[in-house]
Chains A and B, each alone.
Chain A
Amino acid sequence: ETGVTQTPRHLVMGMTNKKSLKCEQHLGHNAMYWYKQSAKKPLELMFVYSLEERVENNSVPSRFSPECPNSSHLFLHLHTLQPEDSALYLCASSQTGGGTDTQYFGPGTRLTVL
């Protein structure tokens, strides 16, 4: 595997389910990100981890819970979601998280909440 991988690619869940999204980067980067992409809206940064420490948390509801066990893996744990949480969830990584860093994105998980 190369680059940034995400699993699953598609997920359908009910509002009472608990599920997790997984992201893995094979680039040796130190920073990882979760974004939410909704139709016709700018990308929303949800969480940033640098060297496995959370450094940004942009007022995301507590029903989204991130976990970064090491610099290569990032999870997003989901529970009691709402239909408006349906979106494409993108994971990204960058070398250090600095302002001019290129971010490398995975293909995303298309989440549908029923």
Chain B
Amino acid sequence: GDSVTQMEGPVTLSEEAFLTINCTYTATGYPSLFWYVQYPGEGLQLLLKATKADDKGSNKGFEATYRKETTSFHLEKGSVQVSDSAVYFCALSDGGNYQLIWGAGTKLIIKP
């Protein structure tokens, strides 16, 4: 079945460092891909998404490109801030039903 694999955390960086959080997937069709973020004490919120190959999603300085050839959707940001500290979830939808397939989440810690 479909699955999503994220790099294990926590990932600890200094402020202004470059961020990459890896996400790879397996799917039989042409899924849509998502990054959600969960700040401490809150629910998840959509960060960005891409619905077809080579699409780039972007929001709040974060970017991710849907790479069909490598089945990846890595999250990047050029210069992280302390306020980016959160748990990041990669997810996919095959569009066939209501269910998103979720990665386990990657905790990001940014030190000043």
**A contact residues vs B (CB 8 Å cutoff):** 4, 6, 31, 33, 40-43, 45, 48, 50, 55-56, 58, 90, 92, 97-100, 102-108
Q: Are B46 and A103 in contact (CB under 8 A)?
A: yes
Partner of A45, one of B46, B89, B99, B105: B99
* Closest Cβ–Cβ distance, residue A36 to chain B (whole Å): 11
* Closest Cβ–Cβ distance, residue A8 to chain B (whole Å): 14
* Closest Cβ–Cβ distance, residue B40 to chain A (whole Å): 11
**B contact residues vs A (CB 8 Å cutoff):** 4, 31-32, 41-46, 49, 51, 89, 93-105
Q: Are B32 and A48 in contact (CB under 8 A)?
A: no
The B interface is mostly helix, strand or loop, or mixed, namely: loop
Q: Which 3 A-B residue pairs are closest in the complex by CB-CB distance?
A: A99-B95, A105-B43, A99-B93
Q: Are A41 and B104 in contact (CB under 8 A)?
A: yes
With a cutoff of 8 Å between Cβ atoms, the chain B residues found around residue A6 in the complex are 43
Q: Are B102 and A107 in contact (CB under 8 A)?
A: no
Partner of A108, one of B32, B43, B96, B100: B43
* Closest Cβ–Cβ distance, residue B59 to chain A (whole Å): 12
Q: Are A105 and B45 in contact (CB under 8 A)?
A: yes
With a cutoff of 8 Å between Cβ atoms, the chain B residues found around residue A48 in the complex are 98-99
- Known contacts: A92-B43, A107-B42. The answer to whether A42 contacts B98 by CB under 8 A is no
